[in-house]
Amino acid sequence: MNAGASSRLPVATPGEVRRSVIELFGMEKRTVALACLLYIAAAGAGAALPVMLGRVIDGIGSGWDATRVDLMCAALIGCVAAQMALTRIGRRVGHRFGDRSAARIRERALERVLRLPLGVVERAGTGDLATRTTGDVAAVAELLRRTGPEVAAAAVEFLVLIAAAFLIDPVLALGLAVVVPPLVLASRWYLRVARPAFLAERAAMSELAEVLTASAGGGRTIAAHRLRSERLEIGHRSARSHHRRLLRVVDLHCRYLPALDLAYLLPVFAVLLGGGLWAVGGGVTVGAVVACTMLAYRLSGPLDRIMYSLTEFQTAGAALARVEGIGKVPTEDREASTDGHEVELAGVRFGYEDGPDVLCGLDLRPRPGEHLAVVGRSGAGKSTLARLVAGIDAPRSGTATIGGVPSASLKLVELRRKVILVTQEHHVFDASLRDNLALADETGDDAALFEALHRVGADWAAALEAGLDTEVGDSGLRLAPAQAQQVALARVVLADPDIVILDEATASLDAAVKGEVEASLAAALEGRTVIQIAHWLQAARAADRVVVVEGGRVAESGPHADLLQRGGAYADLWEAWSRGRGAG
């Protein structure tokens, strides 16, 4: 149930990530320029404080009167007020850039996901794709919205403080520069080892999410095949793998961050010691030493914000590489169209990735409007057959066509209009019940929506206090699995496709209502081609024709009663299923 490593979506290279960031900045040139100007002005007002204080100290020593000192102190207060105002405005502008850029990242990620080949989505697994479009996008958005603007302001402040020190005294300013070598060495080491560590941690988190999602979604299968202990071990193994990678990240922090605290003390110590001895000898004024010492001390503020944010930059960089990696998946050539809706599989051979063939020369031609039940033992290739008809995968050899055109080549818009595949996996969006149904038919009025719900046994919807306007999903009314499945089936009724493929579509329904819902659904879909992958053989009984798949081929085909009389593979399946049902 896991997606293998070979099935994971690709990751963008550092160069591709940089180009993406440059593109985002290019879309907001004016906003970025305005933010930088405001940051420079704010940093200049802040740097003026120690410079002016040094002047006051030297002025008092040279005989300034009280009026002049008072004026200088008033100017200091003005600088404080200006710095606060400019910083606040600059951050608002920076956050505005971050919000818009984060929105672009989200929209681009969603657009790319919707363009992904259907088979790639299936093989990648919900864990990898879900973490890229949620946690990874959120990490990038947080960097652009909050951390990025703050670090930009800190970088500008750092440069302005250094420039102010050089204006006071170039020799003393060299004392501030002693902070650069240790910071550069520590940062280069950290950046070199951190990126692979953070990428590994994000990948391990995706793998863990995939394992947990697969175990939760396949709970019924796990229980039926008594795989609980195996799934627990797989989950524990994935959790341990993620834990090891988290410990690696923590270890990097423990080595890197203490080095920063030591580096911040170096410029203060250098200016105080060197400048103090020089001032005693008369080479520099006391005010200049005080001003440069204060500037050196103030360096720790912006440096803290910059260096401590490198972790967030690494996290966001790894996340952006994964988000941008979605766009590296080659798009499918789906430009074909057809007016027909006849389904035909001829000589189909198919296997997953480099594995053996699951279908081995299978031939199948459902008649238009026929209700066809496909049965067989687990692993016989029933669900694979459904994927080929639905255009998710293309056969290795042979053809899988709709209206004479390969289903994997049909335009997605046309394919989704002609074919609907309903599985036991379903999704209810955080929206109103009306919006969830409108995904299938935006033009349907309330009467049509309620009728579709009624046809699949979802009469509970009429009793809701807010009716179709009831908010459902995690943020609203949480539907039971059976109710969510009925919503999915109601969408099928509303979509009114030519071909419907039901792969365990009623698995979440209670056995007491399963047959009734399937009968109602069959009536609602009368006249359409229905291919039903039937694990619950009672569903095959009502089909026009039953096809038995064994070893990747059609072993038997015919009405339910005829196949029972033959005493072949279908009769054996029916007897085993009936005996198991009776025992249950």
User: Which CATH number belongs to the domain containing residue 287 in this structure?
Assistant: 1.20.1560.10
**H helices within 326-470, ranges in order?**
382-389, 412-418, 433-438, 446-455
In a domain, 398, yes or no: no
Q: Is residue 261 part of a domain?
A: yes
Identify whether 441 is part of a domain: yes
Count the domains in the chain: 2
- One domain for residues 324 and 373: no
Of 328, 344, 361, the last residue of a domain is: 328
DSSP calls for 111-176: HHHHHS-HHHHHHHHHHHHHHIIIIIHHHHHHIIIIIHHHHHHHHHHHHHHHHHHHHH-HHHHHHH
What's the whole-model pTM score? 0.62
pLDDT, position 3: 38
Is 409 within a domain? no
544 lies in the same domain as 495: yes
Domain that holds residue 278: 5-328
Lowest mean pLDDT among 153-157, 275-279, 461-465: 275-279
Are 175 and 97 part of one and the same domain?
Answer: yes
Residue 338 lies in a domain: no
State whether 464 and 525 are in the same domain.
Answer: yes
Residues 286 and 433 in one domain: no
Mean pLDDT, to the nearest integer, of 276-288? 81
Show which of 295, 310, 328 is a domain's final residue. 328
The verdict on 145 and 272 lying in the same domain is: yes
Q: In the structure, how many helices (H) and strands (E) does the chain have?
A: 22, 12
pLDDT of 365 strictly over 90: yes
* Least trusted range by pLDDT, from 420-434, 444-458, 499-513: 499-513
Domain CATH number, residue 553: 3.40.50.300
**What confidence tier does 432 reach under pLDDT thresholds 50, 70, 90?**
very high
State the pLDDT at residue 573.
86
Are 324 and 376 contained in the same domain? no
Q: Per the domain annotation, does 400 fall within a domain?
A: no
- Average pLDDT in the 162-170 region? 85
Res 115: pLDDT: 80
Same domain, 323 and 377: no
Q: Is the pLDDT of residue 329 over 50?
A: yes
Residue 401 counted as domain residue: no
Per DSSP, which regions of 387-482 are E strands?
397-402, 405-406, 419-423, 431-432, 471-472
Residues 309 and 452 in one domain: no
Q: Half-sphere exposure of 233 toward its Cβ, with a 13 Å CA cutoff?
A: 4
Q: What is the mean pLDDT of residues 492-519?
A: 73
Q: Are residues 311 and 446 in the same domain?
A: no
Point out the least confidently predicted range of 203-207, 262-266, 401-405.
262-266
Residues 324 and 374 in one domain: no
pLDDT confidence of 2, banded at 50, 70, 90? Answer: very low
Same structural domain, 427 and 481: yes
pLDDT above 50 (res 246)? yes
122 against 1, higher pLDDT: 122
Q: How confident is the model at residue 6 (pLDDT cuts 50, 70, 90)?
A: very low
